[in-house]
Every structure is written in structure tokens, then in C-alpha cells.
Amino acid sequence: MTSLELNLSSDTFIIRNVEVQAMAKAWPRLSTLSITQPQPHPHSDLGPASLVSLATRCPRLTYLRLPVIHFPQSNLSHLTDYPLLEHPLLYICFSKVQASGQSFGALFLDRLFPYVSLNITGPADAENKQDELRMVLEACQTARRQRETSPCRCARTGSEGPTVAGQSTQIGEVSASHGLC
């Protein structure tokens, strides 16, 4: 199966991480997954686990629509717990975003889906968390594109590289470990 569209009634079905993970495992050739629900069920727990499963098991996925996504408040240092991928997902749409960690959510999405365009169709929340999520994601993508199109400054100078704790580091070490070049 390459395309799946589910239109769920809000009072009869709770979509959870476990269901999305099962879909990703069962249908790895999915290019389109669209799950809609007029009003997401309050017990839905779709979050990073669902997106990681889809990103790692469905390499051809280019369109994803989910009724809700939860991004927890998290220390940004936990981002390295998630895979760094070049997944080709181009479009992701959420009807509702529940985010106490908008920066984490944006950096997480950028880590898995670096080329994605984000659309949030539900009503904006009072604190504009949805707009903040979108703006941080767009800033990440813009910074990466700029970095990818700019020549590496370190390679042109031929210098040993920056000094860390009073010791000089080699360029290769810096670029490999920190992604500066």
C-alpha cells in the first residue's frame, strides 16, 4: 500500500502512537498518510514516537496529515536522543498542535524532516504557540540552506581551527563533531 486516508469520528476512535507505529511497520511503502478527525480525541497521544516511527520505517513518505501532535516541554539537549535524518517528507499538516515546547518541536521536526513544509489547520491558540512553532522551523531551515550553499570558511583559511580551552583543534575534528563545515 502506498496511500492511506482515514477519516475518523471524534467520539469513536482514539488515535495513539501505537496505532501510527503499527501503520508504519505494516506499510513501509507509504508515500501518503492522511488521518483526519473533526475534533481530536482528548486522550490522543500522538507525539515524537509516531513521527520517528514514520521517518525510520517509511522512507518514501512525502505527505503526512495527522489530527493532533503533542510536543512536550523538553530540554533541547535531548534532541540527540532522536535520529538525524534526511527524510524526503515535503508536507506535514496537523489540525491541532499541543506544544509546551515549541522550540523543541520545531528542532525535532527539522531533525527528522529537513525539507518539510508545515501547515497547521486548526484555530490558533491564545499564546500563538502554533505560529512560534512554524517560525522556529522556518528559521532552522533557512539557516541550514544558508550553511549548505555557503563555502566552508575553515577550508579557505587553512588555519588549524578554533581554540578550545586554550588548545588548538584541527579543522576536521571541529567540523565532524560540531557540523561547522
Mean pLDDT for all residues in the chain: 82
User: Looking up cell 501503520, which residue turns up?
Assistant: 23
Reported pTM: 0.78
Per-domain residue ranges of the chain: 3-150, 157-181
| Contact by Cβ (8 Å): 89, 141 | no
Asked whether the predicted pLDDT for residue 179 surpasses 60, the reply is: no
Inter-helix orientation angle 129-149/102-112, to 10°: 40
pLDDT digits (tens, 9 = 90+) for 100-149: 777 888 999 999 999 999 999 877 766 667 788 899 999 999 998 898 88
Tell me the C-alpha distance between 146 and 125, whole Å. Answer: 31
Asked whether the predicted pLDDT for residue 29 surpasses 60, the reply is: yes
Asked whether the predicted pLDDT for residue 4 surpasses 80, the reply is: yes
pLDDT digits (tens, 9 = 90+) for 140-168: 999 988 988 887 665 544 444 444 444 44
pLDDT digits (tens, 9 = 90+) for 46-82: 999 999 999 999 999 999 999 999 888 776 678 888 9
3-state secondary structure of 26: helix
Tell me the C-alpha distance between 82 and 71, whole Å. Answer: 13
pLDDT band at residue 19 under the 50/70/90 scheme: very high
CA angle 132, 18, 34 (to 5 degrees): 60
Tell me the C-alpha distance between 163 and 169, whole Å. Answer: 6
Helix spans in 66-167 (H): 102-112, 129-149, 153-157
| 57 sits in which H/E element | helix 48-57
